Structure 1
Amino acid sequence: MSREVEEDEDRLRQRRLEEVLEVKSLRRIISAYLNYPEAAEEDVQRYERSFRKLPAAHKALLSHYPSKFKRLRRCISVNSYFIFNMLQAFEPPLDMSLDVDICGDPVLENVPYDHPTGERKACSPFASTSGRMRCSKQDQALLQEGSNILCNSITGLTTDEEMQSAHLDKIPPGNFAGTIVKHDEQDEHGGNDVTGSNGNVTSSSHNWLDPSLQLNVPLVDVDKVRCIIRNIVRDWAAEGKNERDQCYKPILEELDALFPNRCKERSPPTCLVPGAGLGRLALEISCLGFVSQGNEFSYYMMICSSFILNHTQTVGQWTIYPWIHSNCNSLSDGDQLRPVLIPDILPASAGITEGFSMCGGDFVEVYNDPCQVGVWDAVVTCFFIDTAHNIIEYIEIISTILKEGGVWINLGPLLYHFADMHGHEDEMSIELSLEDVKKAALHYGFEFTKEKTIETTYTTNPRSMMQNRYHAAFWTMRKIKAATT
């Protein structure tokens, strides 16, 4: 066999391996969302078992608890209704029916469950900001290069707080959207087909939601779903306004002051937002008149942000109960079980600048590319830089992709997400002090123009008795010279 043929076969096997890994990873993420109702129900049953063990006299003091458990189940049902509609609106970029266990290839059969997907990444014109949950390797964005992005909005869906889990299979299917769609630009084809970006009609069959394809995922995966629900409040609810004012407002004011003539320029300034999660900060920057691009690694985030940005039709269209999963530090049952309406604004009518986009994939893989050198006028990092395995690499890439005179605005702590990955020999975590971070930035051609500390919370229940606060570092740096080699 010739060397060329062997190389072609190796490339083919590698592509098959990547596809299998991507399908396994995405199937796990979707299964985590679908496992949410069952995991939440198990929590309620645990509460009920503890209640039944109480002496009769103590039960009498808590006679309202059976009613509370009933209300909890109703809240779980409403959250599940939102999640299922979100999944119905998602069109996977991969063949989810692919048999990932019987591949006819012994190499593929021995692949670890959470193997990184590696090279597949794609830029797509939908917008999706930064979550504090750790993004493991299987969370990496799985979009295929060149895959069609579907542009459509869900129609005819309304939130019903009395909707029960048994009725969820009656919800009509929606479609994954690739761009923010005005509500007068509805699908003209009807049925279950939608038009792709190339004009072709694409099937929106949702057989990938078949129970036979679902996995029993660990509870840590379902915890990420609960984290997403809290992040929705931070970015897309009126109740999250205080946190947004603490974190996003200083960034937006700084951008506004640094680019005062942006509306008079022939082309708007460009701004990159790595760790763009659920999209509010990237959207607000776009509304200021910037060409704004978010970059997001976690498909948990991307599925949800796309749904909110592309499929919401009215303010307050959806109801969620974000605080029901913790009985600790509650002032009252009413606080714990209170509803939150989302979104607080209609993304399609927010006044975004043309060019608002989202690039799915690992920040290092996507932007450590020659085509990104000197492209951006501004880079904004909010609760992001401590998600790095190697924070110096982040700083180097930010310096490289900024234009001469470009600005880097940062706000956040140094929590270092991979600092406690004990027993994972392959995981690297470089944990610098703030002083060393500043030294690294100076080495890569930055000078400080503003620096202060901002006190803020992150996805905190504003009515909880416990409030975790960060003394977050806020700075503006300007790139004054090319990065030192």
Structure 2
Amino acid sequence: MSNDNNNKSAAAAVEDDDEEAIIRRKKYEESLEIQSLRRIISAYINYPEAAEEDVKRYERSFRRLPVAHKALLAHLPLKYQKLRRCITKNSNFIFDMLQAFEPPFDMSQDDEMCEHGDNSSCVHHHSDDRDPCCEPVSISGRAPSAQCSEACGGHEEKKENCCEPKSGSFPEGLECQTNTHKGGCDNAIDVSVDSDTDPNKDISCAPPESPDRLDSMPHFHVPLVDVDKVRCVIRNIVRDWAAEGQKERDQCYKPILEELKRHFPNRSEDSPPSCLVPGAGLGRLALEISCLGFKSQGNEFSYYMMICSSFILNQTQAIGEWTIHPWIHSNCNSLSDADQLRPVSIPDILPASAGITEGFSMCGGDFVEVYGDPAQVGAWDAIVTCFFLDTAHNIVEYIEIISKILKDGGVWINLGPLLYHFADMYGQEDEMSVELSLEDVKRITLHYGFELELEKTIETTYTTNPRSMMQNHYFSAFWTMRKKPLVAASIESMDE
């Protein structure tokens, strides 16, 4: 009897140790997520200071010009003043967005797990145990929660960056320089400026400071590459939520929407077909699919994107409610200063009045982790991937999961290039990247039970400034594939 008791005690001790290890692991993972979220919020808050440093750099270059050259370019100081006002407009949008954001974690307490004593490394404890993944999009509700990520949704990272920091080009410890000038601009919003500005005069002024309402959000200075992701989001807003992005949406989204209508002509309001949109970005395509009568869910890995999409979807009260200046951060390939500084009104539609189908949702998290769950097997009538497949570390894994979660007879519609996002991660030996040709990709899809029904090439752009002298175009692969029933796929496999 004594041995039995000892064995039970030992087993109980092992279970307690395992439970404690699970709790510690959970707290560690939560702390990493909060650390990532703090860094992302910090990148947004640091945007005006980083943008101001750019303008100061332009001014320093101007002051170094010979007097005769300054005379030829006497309009540039006025342009720099206007740039600051554009930065103010962008910052106002960002601060409104952050004010509306409700983090899924308690970010007001110091984290006892912080080991290094460096503020930029500290994280905070999770405030509750609810699932931070999927929540329905409530047009008037709170921001949907999302798992943290630092990735910007990126098919633009290799283009139009000749005058901006490229992703990964800065060492991890590089921080934005703090602007210490506190004078401010009295007429920061007014775009009218006196025409007799002295071209030799230092006209620098501080960017807008973050409002008091953001003081409770813990933030710190971040690498410049993080702030560049904020600029990336601003350009993506044009693609998804501005009239100026309509041409690009027609190139990319319209063929997908037409295919969905063709394959699901009889959509029932009582039982709408389900459609998943991985890599949903700022949510416009997922919303358009919902408006067609689908139970649509967008999935997005980037918290940069999720914060912004939630704000536009949930907080918009009127068409054209906000004004941004998306093109101000690139001085290259501009036809005119007016083109570079031009305002863009957003959004071009009112999401609350768009006619979405009940059940429209946005889900934050890594596609593999969220949809690799066994509960997702055979859950979707349609899957739409737009500029998504090449975001994979392992594209075969993406295809395998798409096959598993699609119903037999379900439809997979894809559009996009193969600009593998992790292909150029030099110096990171553990950063996996499998880069396949389009021919190999299609061969893999056949292996996982797909049958090609439609295939063509569509010329597209991605967050391109339509008035830029440089236009990057993709000859994107577009296809519709159907998942063959398991029995038919097995018979074909045996025949082979």
Deviation at 1:120, TM superposition (A): 6.9
**Alpha-carbon offset, residue 103 of structure 1:** 2.7
Q: In the superposition, relative to structure 1, how do residues 312 and 334 fare at CA in structure 2: closer, same or farther (>3 Å)?
A: same
Q: Note if 1:428 corresponds to 2:438.
A: no
Secondary structure of the residue aligned to 1:34 is helix
RMSD: 2.7
Give the AA of the match of 2:409.
G
- How is 1:107-122 mapped onto 2 (pairs within 5 angstroms)? 121-122=132-133
Change (3 A) 1:104 1:365: closer
Q: Does 1:9 align with 2:20?
A: yes
1:411 is paired with a residue whose SS is strand
Map 1:351-390 → 2, pairs under 5 A: 351-390=355-394
Q: What does residue 312 of structure 2 align with?
A: 308
Alignment partners' CA distance in 2, 1:416 and 1:50: 36
Partner of 2:284: 280
CA contact (8 A) 1:86 1:304 kept: yes
| Pairing 1:315-464 to 2, within 5 Å after superposition | 315-464=319-468
Letter in 2 for 1:239: E
Q: For 2:407, what is the secondary structure of its paired residue? A: strand
9, 23, 26: which one aligns with 2:37:
26
Which one-letter code corresponds to 2:469 in the other structure?
M
Separation in structure 2 between the aligned mates of residue 215 and residue 339 of structure 1, nearest angstrom:
29
The residue number in structure 1 matching 2:256 is: 251
Structure 1 counterpart SS, 2:358: coil
**For 1:409 and 1:166, how far apart are their aligned partners in 2?**
44
CA–CA distance in structure 1, aligned partners of residues 105 and 310 of structure 2:
17
* Residue 8 (structure 1) shift: 2.2
Other-structure match for 1:198: none
> Which stretch has the larger CA shift, 123-132 or 307-316?
123-132
| 5+ long unaligned stretches in structure 1 | 137-159, 174-205
Say whether residues 1:72 and 2:76 are aligned partners: no
Which of 237, 246, 268 matches 2:242?
237
Query: Which among 164, 169, 185 is matched to residue 211 of structure 2?
Result: 169
State the AA in 2 paired with 1:103.
M
Q: Please state whether the residue corresponding to 2:332 is helix, strand or coil.
A: coil
2:227 aligned with 1:222: yes
Aligned length: 418
Distance in 2, matches of 1:262 and 1:120, equals: 31
**Out of 113, 121, 131, which is 1:103 matched to?**
113
- Check if 1:47 corresponds to 2:61: no
- Structure 2 partner of 1:262: 267
Distance 1:382 1:130, change over 3 A: farther
- The gaps in structure 2 that reach 5 residues or longer are 1-9, 139-143, 145-151, 158-166, 169-187, 192-205
Q: Which amino acid aligns with 1:372?
A: Q
Is 1:289 the counterpart of 2:293? The answer is yes
User: Equivalents in 2 of 1:343, 1:324: separation in Å?
Assistant: 19
The 1-side partners of 2:464 and 2:484 are apart by 38
Q: Residues 215 and 112 (structure 1 numbering): CA distance in 2 closer, same or farther, change over 3 Å?
A: closer
Which residue of the partner structure matches residue 140 of structure 1?
Answer: none
Task: Report the CA distance between 1:294 and its aligned residue.
Answer: 0.4
Question: What amino acid sits opposite 1:476 in the alignment?
Answer: T
Paired with 1:473 and 1:216, the residues of 2 have a C-alpha distance of 40
User: CA separation of 1:248/1:113 partners in 2, compared to 1, >3 Å: closer, same or farther?
Assistant: farther
1:357 is displaced (CA, Å) by 0.5
Contact residue 334 and residue 468 of structure 2 kept, 8 A = yes
Specify the alignment match of 2:3 in structure 1. Answer: none
1:168 CA displacement: 5.1
Secondary structure of residue in 2 paired with 1:35: helix
Measured after TM superposition, the shift of residue 208 of structure 1 is 3.5
Cα distance, 1:167 vs structure 2? 6.8
Name the structure 2 match of 1:62. 73
The alpha-carbon deviation at position 370 of structure 1 amounts to 1.3
SS of the aligned residue for 1:478 comes to strand
2:141 is aligned to none
Alpha-carbon distance in structure 1 between the residues aligned to 2:229 and 2:121: 21
Contact 2:155–2:419, Cα closer than 8 Å, also in 1: no
1:246-293 deviations in Å (ceiling 9; x for gaps): 000000011011111114x74111100000110000000000000000
How far apart are residue 481 of structure 1 and its match? 2.9
> What secondary structure does 1:432 align onto?
coil
Partner of 1:467: 471
User: Residue 35 of structure 1 corresponds to which residue in structure 2?
Assistant: 46
Cα pair 1:408 1:477 within 8 Å, conserved: yes
* Amino acid of the structure 2 residue aligned with 1:223: D
Partner of 1:132: 155
